[in-house]
Structure 1
């Protein structure tokens, strides 16, 4: 039975059954972009970065699932996958030993990425 469980865990999961709360996600990204310079505490900046990274991971998965359903030659699919590639690149950026200004800049970049992924998610959900 252990092998069966391991195989099931290795299977890629379908799009989540719970809806993505775009309103909350967009609000968090907007707050970082409008109030990002007010992140005066490095610990708070690190926490915001972790939150945004979690949102990006969720949205990357969801956008990938939706875009994969489109035909290979579809332009929207290509744009969504390009956005996913950039999001994954941003997830690899390190925060260790980063100056506070770098943390704020990274938080703002991640927030813009969250916004872009949310846009793709929304338009892909609306697509026929």
Structure 2
């Protein structure tokens, strides 16, 4: 199945929001660990997400110079993710849940690399991506010593948020 998904790379859009929602089911602040068939289904979903995003990251990383640090980091993350995909959950519900959480953490890292390689701008106030149609504004925070602590963009809706660094 993996080779079939790899062959179709580029034909299906990568839906990062859906992938992050799936991750949140296991790693979110209010996440309850599912059991039985629900856990097995979620594990399969995470594996499928990983199989879809890995070729996209490889393709984007392949466009960078071979000595580029983001390329190296993304490819190392892919290697770790593939190692997790090759392993099995193990016996028992505790090991199955632990395996699913490992997959979720690996998928979260892959999503981060995908967004970084695709040039997705992140809001400095809420740490969420700024989508194409979302209103945003430039933001720069000056440190107490007078140097720029961070510069980038924030959602317009986040302009009232004071974020301490």
Q: Which has the higher contact order (CA 8 A, sep 6+)?
A: 1
How much is the aligned-residue C-alpha RMSD, in angstroms? 2.3
Contact 1:42–1:103 (CA<8 Å) still a contact in 2? no
- Flag as ranges the 4+ runs of structure 1 deviating above 4 A: 12-15
Higher helix share: 1
Q: Does 1:110 align with 2:103?
A: yes
Unaligned runs of 5+ in 1: 1-8
TM-score after normalising by structure 2: 0.63
Alignment: residue pair count: 116
Q: Does 1:64 align with 2:68?
A: no
In our comparison, the structure showing a higher alpha carbon Rg is 2
Write the distance in 2 (CA, Å) between the matches of 1:36 and 1:118: 19
Q: TM-score, normalised by structure 1?
A: 0.80
Q: How do 1:3-42 and structure 2 match up within 5 A?
A: 13=7, 15-34=9-28, 37-39=32-34, 41-42=35-36
Contact 2:25 2:32 in 1 (8 A): no
| Cα distance, 1:14–1:101 mapped onto 2, change above 3 Å | closer
For structure 2, the 5+ residue unaligned runs are 121-165
